């Protein structure tokens, strides 16, 4: 079976979006599928018509041309038309059995047009609602014109694709609520390559010394610094935790729009001695930082995105047997069974966060059991090999 994947980007591979894509493509090839790949003009990087990245060949779409392509609405339309024309070039050569378009909607629109023209079944994969992501990033207003247009375009594709896949139950339920047939929407969740995440390796003592964390009890967060991640709440909770355990240190690994505000809050609370913000760390070094952290904390606030989506970072932490504390938003509840594979606290509630962390610190005797349960859960239910095979069933119904 030949599957043509329609994407925005092939790199950078460290991002959650493209890391999932690469994992899917690698596993599909292991399963014997013949995969082809095309990126829209939004791709950042090489512009050759055909390029190889990490052993995968990608057809590229040309940059849109014209006097008005820089205008907001025209620009989006031009991106989709450029992708559509490139698909029209390569589909007769490839002769795919399935078109598999990955959100956002601009990819879906181009794929839908080609699906109708060449009578090829279309699978549309939604990993997040981009209108909600735009709200989180401050580039759109919930309920505003851009928000409503994005949602309408996505809904249009959901209803016309032959099958829809998504990454969690929250997104699936929302898609169905828009009038899409329940049997047409399949959850194929985030996963990890369990073999790439070591379980019992000792912490990197040299790195611990370098960061002045040797002999300390380390709380941590690894990810992007957006407001919805709740990191300011974590800083607000830290003084009460330190009061009971002065040897606590907080390690924040990453960067983002809130970096400046976080540093200001550290200073305002007098926590300079207790908080270390590293900045972004190369993906191939991230495991070294995971190993330094005794308790990973993901204090996301409750909003549409966090209730509907399921982030990848906590799953990676669980794969390494880390102790994870997370707010009880929808995405976290799909991974974490409270006090079995991790710990949940009430989203947005500082006292609940403090209570949960202190309970965990005072109950170290349970850590090993929880660590093993988290690792086993990922191994048994969230490895890419076991997850990607679900695409076979989706494709098989259409061909």
Q: How far apart are CA 105 and CA 388, in angstroms?
A: 22
Q: How confident is the model at residue 13 (pLDDT cuts 50, 70, 90)?
A: very low
Q: Which tens digit of pLDDT belongs to each residue from 228-285?
A: 999 999 999 999 999 999 999 999 999 999 999 999 999 999 999 999 999 988 877 8
DSSP type of residue 364: G
pLDDT for 29: 87
pLDDT of residue 129: 86
The residue among 68, 23, 69 whose CA lies nearest residue 42 is: 69
Q: Rounded to whole angstroms, how far apart are CA atoms 367 and 222?
A: 20
Average pLDDT over residues 2-17: 71
Helices (H), 58-188: 72-94, 105-118, 130-136, 145-160, 169-177
pLDDT of 42 above 70: yes
The confidence score (pLDDT) of residue 24 equals 86
When pLDDT is cut at 50, 70 and 90, the band that residue 67 belongs to is low
Confidence at residue 248, expressed as pLDDT on a 0 to 100 scale: 96
pLDDT, residue 141, reads 79
Domains and CATH numbers, the chain: 2-191+383-397 (3.40.50.2000), 194-381 (3.40.50.2000)
pLDDT range class, residue 152, cuts 50, 70, 90: very high
Listed ranges 45-54, 58-67, 367-376; the one with the highest mean pLDDT: 367-376
What is the pTM (predicted TM-score) of this model? 0.86
pLDDT in tens, 295-353: 999 999 998 888 888 888 899 899 988 899 999 998 899 889 999 999 999 999 999 99
In this prediction, residue 69 carries a pLDDT of 66
- Whole-number pLDDT of residue 73: 67
For 185-227, what is each residue's pLDDT tens digit?
Answer: 999 999 988 888 888 778 889 999 999 999 999 999 999 999 9
Measured distance CA(82)–CA(89) in Å, rounded:
11
Nearest residue to 179 via CA among 159, 165, 195: 159
**Mean pLDDT over residues 165-192, rounded?**
94
Least confidently predicted of 28-32, 95-99, 296-300:
28-32
Torsion of the alpha carbons at 250, 252, 258 and 260, rounded to the nearest 10: 80
pLDDT for position 89? 95
Helix (H, G, I), strand (E, B), or coil: what is residue 273? coil
CA-CA distance, 16 to 380, in Å (whole number)? 21
Instruction: Answer whether residue 14 shows pLDDT above 50.
Output: no
pLDDT at 97 > cutoff 90:
yes
Closest residue by Cα to residue 20 from 192, 185, 186, 168: 192
CA-CA distance, 246 to 229, in Å (whole number)? 25
Residue 221 CB contacts under 8 Å (≥ 6 apart), including other chains: 229, 231, 234, 250, 251, 252, 253, 254, 296, 297, 298, 299
In the prediction, which pLDDT does 163 show? 97
Average pLDDT, the chain: 90
What local confidence, expressed as pLDDT, does residue 76 receive?
81
Peptide bond into 115 cis (omega under 30): no
């Amino acid at each position: 079976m030949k599957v043509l994947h329609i994407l925005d980007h092939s790199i950078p591979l460290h991002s959650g979006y493209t890391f999932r894509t690469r994992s899917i493509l690698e596993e599909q090839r292991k399963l014997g599928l013949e995969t082809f790949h095309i990126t829209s003009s939004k791709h950042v990087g090489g512009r050759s018509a055909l390029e190889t990245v990490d052993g995968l060949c990608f057809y590229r779409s040309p940059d849109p041309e014209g006097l008005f392509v820089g205008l907001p609405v025209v620009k989006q339309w031009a991106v989709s038309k450029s992708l559509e024309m490139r698909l029209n070039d390569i589909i007769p050569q490839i002769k795919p059995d399935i078109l598999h378009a990955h959100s956002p909607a601009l990819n879906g629109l181009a794929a839908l047009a080609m699906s109708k023209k060449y009578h090829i079944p279309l699978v549309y994969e939604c990993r997040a609602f981009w209108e909600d992501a735009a709200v989180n990033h401050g580039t759109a207003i919930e309920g505003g014109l851009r928000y409503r247009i994005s949602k309408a375009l996505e809904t249009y594709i959901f209803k016309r694709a032959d099958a829809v896949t998504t990454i969690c139950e929250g997104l699936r339920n929302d898609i169905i609520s828009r009038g899409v047939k329940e049997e047409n929407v399949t959850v194929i969740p985030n996963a990890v390559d369990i073999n790439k995440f070591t379980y019992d390796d000792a912490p990197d003592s040299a790195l611990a010394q370098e960061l002045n964390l040797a002999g300390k009890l380390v709380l941590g967060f690894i990810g992007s610094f957006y407001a919805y991640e709740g990191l300011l709440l974590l800083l607000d909770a830290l003084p009460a935790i330190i009061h009971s355990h002065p040897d606590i240190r907080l390690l924040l690994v990453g960067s983002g729009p809130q970096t400046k505000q976080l540093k200001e809050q550290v200073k305002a609370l007098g926590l300079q001695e207790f908080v270390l913000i590293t900045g972004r760390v190369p993906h191939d070094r991230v495991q070294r930082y995971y190993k330094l952290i005794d308790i990973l904390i993901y204090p996301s606030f409750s909003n549409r995105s966090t209730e509907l989506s399921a982030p990848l970072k906590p799953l990676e932490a669980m794969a390494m047997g880390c102790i994870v504390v997370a707010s009880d938003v929808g995405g976290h509840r799909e991974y974490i069974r409270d006090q079995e594979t991790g710990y949940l606290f009430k989203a947005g509630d500082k006292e609940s966060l403090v209570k949960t962390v202190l309970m965990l610190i005072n109950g170290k005797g349970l850590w090993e059991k929880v660590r093993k349960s988290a690792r086993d859960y990922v191994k048994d239910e969230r490895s890419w090999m076991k997850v990607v095979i679900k695409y076979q069933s989706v494709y098989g119904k259409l061909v």
